[in-house]
Amino acid sequence: MINFKKEIAKAIADVTKLEEDELENYIEIPPNSDLGDYAFPCFKLAKELKKAPPMIANDIKENIKIDESIIDRIDVVGGYLNIFINKEALTKTVLEEIANKKDKYGSSNLGNGKNVVIDYSAPNIAKPFHIGHLRSTVIGGALYKIYNFLGYNSVGINYLGDWGLQFGKVMAGISLWKSEYDFKNDEMGSILKIYIRFNQEEKEKPELTDLAREYFKKLEDGDKETYKLWEHIRKISLENYEKTYKLLNSKFDSYNGEAYYNDKMMPIVDELKEKGLLKESQGAQVVDLEEYNMPPCIIITSAGTTIYATRDLASLKERMNKYNFDKAIYVVGGEQALHFKQVFKVFELMGYGEYAKRCTHVPFGLVVDKNGEKIGSRKGNSVFLEDILNEAIDKVKNIINEKNPELEDKDEVARKVGVGAIIFNDLANSRIKDEIFDWDMLLNFQGETGPYIQYIYVRTKSLLDKAGYTPKIEDVDFSKLTEREAISTLKLIYMFNEVVQNAAEKNEPSILARYLIDLSQSFSSFYNEHKIIVQKKDIQDARLFLTYAVGTVLKTGAELLGMEMPERM
Ligand code: ARG
């Protein structure tokens, strides 16, 4: 594809003798395309060139040599150069690239096969997989696909919370109340109910907590029976999560969680000791981080046990050795910000600064209802992710039965739209904001939602079907797409790779989600203003190819977010 920004920067560099890359960075996209497709603010050069910006602008305009088949015209407005690209060149370069790359359109080899380790989902076994974990699963899943699309090698790690006192609680609960629950038919449900009940009852009966500690101690000491029970609970929990992961299209390359590091922490503790980083504080072994304005990072508690941070250091070191990562990303709620800051700092102090620099905590906000009230498992009114997904699917099924009862593959469509709605709602706004979970909003087919994008995609499909069109780039007359809405749509398609790259740079899938809304709306205004199926074949062919291009990008983009596209709805 023609790189318009590069061409402009090169031409300006020839005139000004300044550095091309720097100039390229200055190029802006004006808020209103009547002002130009690109703008170059000359005041950025005033210091270096020792001239007033309007003079610089005039000079550049007078002397610039730029291919006329690419650039139509340059206007000087104050200190700005407003640049109008040749629309036919835009159309040609975009549509040819689509014809060439198809569903690979927008991908690149930016990452050169380098490893990006993404730690995401990470539910705590034996505790309910609640809606809070949805966010990590969905955001991490999108990043996983986005990095792969950009030529990185994503490594998805589900760092399961599969060790800890919660097992003691569940085991103690089972020993007390097993007969009261239906283990035979619903083992997972029974375990979760017991966990929730245990937490409630232990508030009044502290002896329960002691019992849980006893069980967990037995587990830690390697008691055979207890260990077997732990293995069993872990196994059925995982089987349960798999159902949710399957619905969400989540992929993991490793399920090594906290338990996996149980026998791998001593080397880290020894290394910290050797490097003189450990010191005693109130009976605990800590790394002092006062110099960095952080509380000490506890490595061994006063009870002599290792803790969350110890395990994260062991796993980080293993990830460094095993994957030699270019980036290590932790998609974990904002409340763990300090924990990760401490872990990364300690890792740096251990002498792994190069790798510590490549670590990023990617935090996100809570899930709240439309009144701003937190949705979660606190009050015992747990919301399970699988139930939510199934509810979404059911709701969509009802809508289909009402509006389009004859639709083929109803179940399939309902699944894609229901799950897509949940995924998109999670990714639609910048991740650090609280996610508002409201059924009417997220299922609104006219709103800025997953179903809306799917609906527009299906429109592109049905237009192509109706015309019996098979895309053939040789038949496209690029001069036939001149309408304002067509050009805006083409410009958006042109930007796709940049958008995906930007989403990766900021670890912010919402950038891609917003883009897909923009593209859908832009195409929608195109076909509302202009018929696509028309008398004149050359116009129709050009419009249909654009339709095909929009559908291709919508599908690729939505799949990067983890959604699936229905072909009908
Ligand atoms: N299981 C933890 C939780 O739910 C998240 C683990 C995140 N990953 C990590 N490497 N610490 O709070």
Nearest-CA residue for ligand 1 atom 11 is 312
Instruction: Return the bridge partners of 306, or none.
Output: 300
Residue 131 pLDDT: 78
| CA–CA separation, 143 and 509 (whole Å) | 7
Task: Among 332, 338, 346, name the best residue to mutate to test ligand 1's pocket (greatest count of ligand atoms within 8 A of Cβ).
Answer: 332
Are 496 and 149 in contact by the 8 Å Cβ rule? The answer is no
Nearest-CA residue for ligand 1 atom 5 is 122
Q: Residues lining ligand 1, CB < 6 A?
A: 119, 122, 124, 159, 161, 312, 330, 332
Which portions of the chain are predicted below pLDDT 50? 377-380
| CA–CA separation, 185 and 504 (whole Å) | 44
Q: Where are the alpha helices (DSSP H) in 376-535?
A: 385-403, 410-427, 439-442, 450-467, 484-505, 510-529
Residue 299 pLDDT: 97
Measured CA to CA in angstroms, residue 119 lies from 51, 316, 362, 374 at distances of 51, 10, 10, 24
Ligand 1 atom nearest the C-alpha of 124 is 1
User: What architecture is the 4-85 domain classified under in CATH?
Assistant: 2-Layer Sandwich (3.30)
Task: Among 265, 336, 359, 385, name the best residue to mutate to test ligand 1's pocket (greatest count of ligand atoms within 8 A of Cβ).
Answer: 336
Distance (Å) from CA 358 to ligand 1 centroid = 19
Residue 376 pLDDT: 62
Distance (Å) from CA 470 to ligand 1 centroid = 48
Ligand 1 atom nearest the C-alpha of 315 is 10
Residue 378 pLDDT: 47
Distance (Å) from CA 159 to ligand 1 centroid = 7
Distance (Å) from CA 385 to ligand 1 centroid = 17
Distance (Å) from CA 388 to ligand 1 centroid = 22
Nearest-CA residue for ligand 1 atom 6 is 122
| CA–CA separation, 58 and 42 (whole Å) | 10
Sort 92 into a burial class: Cβ within 10 Å, 0-12 / 13-18 / 19+.
buried
pLDDT digits (tens, 9 = 90+) for 468-490: 999 999 999 999 999 999 999 99
Question: Could you give the maximum distance between any two Cα atoms of the chain, in Å?
Answer: 89
Go through 205-227 and write b for each residue having 16 or more CB atoms within 10 A of its CB, e for each that does not.
eeebbebbeebbebbeeeeeebe
Instruction: Return the bridge partners of 161, or none.
Output: 124
Active site residues: 127, 130, 133
Q: Which fold has domain 118-259+308-368?
A: Rossmann fold (3.40.50)
Task: Among 159, 312, 347, name the best residue to mutate to test ligand 1's pocket (greatest count of ligand atoms within 8 A of Cβ).
Answer: 159
Distance (Å) from CA 194 to ligand 1 centroid = 23
Q: List the domain boundaries for the chain.
A: 4-85, 118-259+308-368
| CA–CA separation, 89 and 86 (whole Å) | 5
Question: Strand 38-41 to strand 80-85: parallel, antiparallel, or no bridges (unpaired)?
Answer: antiparallel
Compute how many other C-beta atoms are within 10 angstroms of the C-beta atom of residue 203. Answer: 9
**3-class DSSP assignment, residue 291:** helix
Ligand 1 atom nearest the C-alpha of 133 is 4
What is the residue whose two structure tokens read 């995982």? 238
Ligand 1 atom nearest the C-alpha of 336 is 12
pLDDT digits (tens, 9 = 90+) for 81-111: 999 999 999 999 999 999 999 999 999 999 9
Distance (Å) from CA 337 to ligand 1 centroid = 11
Nearest-CA residue for ligand 1 atom 4 is 123
Measured CA to CA in angstroms, residue 245 lies from 234, 386, 562 at distances of 16, 9, 11
